[in-house]
Each structure stands twice: as C-alpha cells, then as structure tokens.
Amino acid sequence: MPETIGFLKPRQAVLDRRREIIADLADLLPEGCLISEERGLKPFETDAFLAYRRMPLAVALPETTEQVAAVLKYCSRYGVPVVPRGAGTSLSGGAIPQEDAVVIGLSKMSRILDIDLFNRTATVQAGVTNLNISEAVGADGFFYAPDPSSQLACTIGGNIGMNSGGAHCLKYGVTTNNLLGVRMVLFDGTVIELGGKALDAPGYDLLGLVCGSEGQLGIVTEATVRLIAKPEGARPVLFGFASSEAAGSCVADIIGSGIIPVAIEFMDKPAIEICEAFAHAGYPLDVEALLIVEVEGSEPEMDAMLEGIIEIARRHGVATIKESQSALEAALIWKGRKSAFGATGRVADYICMDGTVPLSQLSHVLRRTGEIVAGYGLRVANVFHAGDGNMHPLILYNINDSEDAARAEAAGNDILKLCVDAGGCLTGEHGVGIEKRDLMLHQYSRADLDQQMAARAAFDPDWIMNPSKVFPLEGRPAA
C-alpha cells in the first residue's frame, strides 16, 4: 500500500559503513546474538502495525545489561540509530525499525531475578513476558495487575515502553501505577537505576518519565514491579443492550455512582459476533452491545456491588443479564474478550485505534465513530476498555487494496481527532509510535511538544534512540 507516514531519511554515512558495523557488533556480542542476513532480519521488519515495514541494518540480541551497554556505546559513538524491541506486538508501529538502525531485542533477557512476597515485588529482566510474572507468583496467591490482551507474548520492557494497560486496569491502574523501579542503559552505555522496592523516591520522578517513553530515553534491562494479592473471588457478568449508546451511558453512570468494578469491557454487535464465533463464550447474539463487568471480593461484597450495577443497568434498559456460573464460564468470557483482536484478524485486516475520551462523551463518540467509518465506505467493530473510556475501534479493510487502506487510515485519523476534540487523547495504552506521530500537534501546542523534546534531548542529545517515532518530523531540532 502507498505509505502516508514518513520515516526519517536513513543516515548515508551509517549505510556506507554497514559491513564494518556488523563486524564490530559481532565482536561485542556472544556467538548467535547478532543477525545480519536478510532472511534472519525479515521477522524484525515490522510489528503488529503491519501496514509499514523497513529492513533494519542488523539485530542485536544481547544476554546481559553489559552487552546492551556495549552495543549502545558503540552505536552512539558512530551515530547509528537504535530501535529497542520486546516481542514486537506494538499496534502503533513503536518497534518498526528503519534501514540504518540496529534493533536491540531483549528476548534473550527473560529471567525472573527475584520474587519478594514479603514486600510484594518481583524483579525481572526486560524480556520476561507479562503473563510469566503472574504465572510465577500465582500459586502463592499473587498476580501482576496490568493485563494487556497480548500478555502471553508481550514483554515487561515493551509494557514499560508503551505504559500498557488492559482489562483489569480500571481498578489497579496501568503499568506506571505498578512499576517500582528499573535498571536502564542510556544512549551512551551508561547504566542507571531509577526507583526500587520502597515507595517513592526523592528528586524528580524520572521513573514516571521513562514509563511510556517508547524506547527513546534508554533501554530498560530490568524492572521491579508491584505484586497484588489475588481477591477472594471474582465474577464477570454479561449485560446486553439494545444500543451502543445505552451501553455507553450505563458505563458512565456506573463509574459516576462511585462503584469501581475491576473491569468494564464493551463490545458492539460486530465484535460480539466475531468473538463468539471464535471463543464460544456464551455471549448473547440478539443484542446490539455488550458489557462485561467484573466484580471481585468476598461473596457478600460482590453481591452488594452487583446489586448497585444491576439497578443502574436496568435504568438504561438492559435487555440481558448473565452471571458466570463457574470458573470455566468465567474463563471463557475472558477468553472471548482477550482474543478479540486475533479473532478479528480471522475475518478481515484491521487497524486498531486507541483514543481515550471522558466517560460522559462515550455514547457521542461511539455514534460519530460509526458515522465516520461508514462515510468512508468501511466497517468497524468496537471492543474496548469502557470503564477507562479507552476506545478501540477496529477499522476493517483490505490491506492489499491501496485505496481501501488509505480510506482506513483517513477514517482512523478522523476518529482520533474526534477523541481529542471530545476532551480525550490520541492514545490510552498503545503509544504514539509512528502511527499517531503526525497527529501530536492536534493534541499539543508547539510549546508543549518542544518541552517534551527538550526532556528527550536530555537523555539522547543526538536522537539515535527510536528516532522516527512520537514527535512529528517537522519542528525537530536540527540533527
């Protein structure tokens, strides 16, 4: 498809030294930790933002913090751009490389270093998957709360890069609320430690700055995260509605009433049909919109919370209420929701938007989203974290039809602008990446962006770290 988003022009001096760079990097890494053959580089050309791809110069797969530092020191010395990579599941193109870049993949750094149940923390290498942490402490009655639907594959380093969220973040917060410390390598190979096991740290909150910085401030090699005690019980309940607007205003009223369930997820009819066909989760097929509301706690606590939620849902004309009756039913309900993107991929190509809106705007933005996408002659399926107002319209299109693809991209941009205009923002959890980079001036003033770039420059004065992402190419300081 024709590309509408530009990448930075590759640095010719770097391309001219390709062979030498590869030979030098091979000397810095153990055998088997550098990929430079075209066939081996192919899987690193793109991430889950599949419409764009670039072949990197090489891929380094270090095994230790010291090796990450050695590669970064070398790259900064010779002005070689670097793209950090976890599992490459970014939906905004955050891990897509460029032709003059060395990808530094953290997949070989996948050890759990310390589990401290007394202090309720886990320290892990950056390549450990999100789900691995909960699996490692599950038998002891703990879990790691942020749960992106990609949690089987995505890494804690990538989660920090994007400040990732998930269905259960409504109650427990996103990555930044569950991250206590990192070990990180700066652009020139310097290793720094931010935060730690104890709460809060004196001085500036650099940990907060690093979380969500999309691999531009350094490479995280280790992270210390908060562990949470599992609740006594948890119950997902399905609420079916005759319209998306009714479901949307029900969500706003639940949160407005002060009740905070652990999760409120939304699906419209196309999403219900796609997910039910894949997971056979027992979703009602005769409604236009579905909420999955999960409450947790003791049985009386869950009953009391549900009573309040059901009363609000009735005021919004709920058509179906179905409580899960067993652990198996509950697991199926979540399987359907968490497989939504993969299940959608079975029926069509899609791009996934990630705008966030104030809950009072949810119904309006849902209706306008449908109108915008229909205006481009396309279809949309909505499945998202409604309690957070974090919307994920999946715009369905044909990736092999360039006009279709251009229409999908244009519709996506209109939707994200709609979210900003409704008082929300361009991204709730997937990051800016390359996808939303050129919309940043719709969200921020030039002065706002200049200040963010100044903070970035304090960490990476030569702009070698993931340079094509986050900030519009125009208005950057001269390289």
Ligand X SMILES: Cc1cc2nc3c(=O)[nH]c(=O)nc-3n(C[C@H](O)[C@H](O)[C@H](O)COP(=O)(O)OP(=O)(O)OC[C@H]3O[C@@H](n4cnc5c(N)ncnc54)[C@H](O)[C@@H]3O)c2cc1C
Instruction: Give whichever of 88 and 389 is closer to ligand X, judged by the CB atom.
Output: 88
**HEC string for 162-194:** HCCCCCCHHHHCCHHHHEEEEEEECCCCCEEEE
Q: How far is the CB of 174 from ligand X (least distance, A)?
A: 7
Q: How far is the CB of 389 from ligand X (least distance, A)?
A: 14
Q: How far is the CB of 147 from ligand X (least distance, A)?
A: 7
Distance of CA 376 to the CA centre of its chain: 27
Residues 421-440 that bind ligand X (CB under 6 A): 429-430
Q: How far is the CB of 470 from ligand X (least distance, A)?
A: 9
> Which of 155, 176, 363, 369 touches ligand X (CB under 6 A)?
155
Q: How far is the CB of 424 from ligand X (least distance, A)?
A: 16
> Which of 87, 101, 102, 391 touches ligand X (CB under 6 A)?
87
Instruction: Give whichever of 183 and 316 is closer to ligand X, judged by the CB atom.
Output: 183
Kind and range of the H or E element at 82?
strand 82-85
> Which of 106, 330, 416, 419 touches ligand X (CB under 6 A)?
106
Do residues 363 and 248 make contact, with C-beta atoms less than 8 angstroms apart? Answer: yes
Instruction: Give whichever of 87 and 408 is closer to ligand X, judged by the CB atom.
Output: 87
> Which of 132, 466, 467, 468 touches ligand X (CB under 6 A)?
466
Please, which residues bridge with residue 462 across strands? Answer: none
CA–CA distances in Å: residue 104 to residues 38, 51, 62: 16, 22, 7
Q: Among the candidate windows 149-157, 196-204, 255-263, 364-372, which touches ligand X by CB under 6 A?
A: 149-157
Residues 246-285 that bind ligand X (CB under 6 A): none
Q: Among the candidate windows 160-168, 230-238, 308-316, 408-416, which touches ligand X by CB under 6 A?
A: 160-168
Instruction: Give whichever of 214 and 404 is closer to ligand X, judged by the CB atom.
Output: 214
Instruction: Give whichever of 96 and 405 is closer to ligand X, judged by the CB atom.
Output: 96
Q: How far is the CB of 138 from ligand X (least distance, A)?
A: 20
Q: Give the closest residue to 468 by CA, choosing from 35, 21, 52.
A: 52
Which 8-state DSSP code applies to residue 129?
B
Which 8-state DSSP code applies to residue 390?
B
Q: In whole angstroms, what is the distance from residue 59 CA to residue 83 CA?
A: 9
CA angle 277/400/335 to nearest 5° reads 25
Q: How far is the CB of 150 from ligand X (least distance, A)?
A: 3
Distance of CA 423 to the CA centre of its chain: 21
* Residue with token string 């361009």: 426
Q: Considering the rule CB under 6 A, would residue 220 count as an interface residue with ligand X? A: yes
Instruction: Give whichever of 65 and 324 is closer to ligand X, judged by the CB atom.
Output: 65
Pairing of strands 234-241, 179-185: unpaired
Do residues 226 and 180 make contact, with C-beta atoms less than 8 angstroms apart? Answer: yes
Read off φ and ψ for residue 239, nearest 5 degrees. -120, 115
* Residue with token string 């399987």: 335
> Which of 94, 248, 336, 424 touches ligand X (CB under 6 A)?
94
Q: In whole angstroms, what is the distance from residue 104 CA to residue 118 CA?
A: 34
Residues 315-354 that bind ligand X (CB under 6 A): 341-342
Q: How far is the CB of 212 from ligand X (least distance, A)?
A: 9
Q: Considering the rule CB under 6 A, would residue 382 count as an interface residue with ligand X? A: no
Instruction: Give whichever of 219 and 422 is closer to ligand X, judged by the CB atom.
Output: 219
Q: Considering the rule CB under 6 A, would residue 366 count as an interface residue with ligand X? A: no
Query: Could you tell me the sign of the dihedral formed by the alpha carbons of 472, 184, 99, 412, in that order?
Result: negative
Tokens of residue 241, six digits = 């509605």
> Taking CB under 6 A as the rule, which mask of x and - marks residues 11-50 in contact with ligand X?
------------------------------------xx--
Read off φ and ψ for residue 471, nearest 5 degrees. -100, 130
Tell me the site size for ligand X, rule CB under 6 A. 37
Instruction: Give whichever of 13 and 192 is closer to ligand X, judged by the CB atom.
Output: 192
Q: In whole angstroms, what is the distance from residue 434 CA to residue 446 CA?
A: 18
Q: What is the DSSP string of 98-120?
A: -TT-EEEE-TT---EEEEETTTT
Read off φ and ψ for residue 257, nearest 5 degrees. -75, -10
Q: Considering the rule CB under 6 A, would residue 164 count as an interface residue with ligand X? A: yes
Q: Considering the rule CB under 6 A, would residue 295 count as an interface residue with ligand X? A: no
Q: How far is the CB of 307 from ligand X (least distance, A)?
A: 29
The footprint of ligand X (CB under 6 A) covers 47-48, 83-91, 94-95, 106, 126, 148-150, 154-155, 157-159, 161-162, 164-166, 214-215, 219-220, 341-342, 429-430, 466
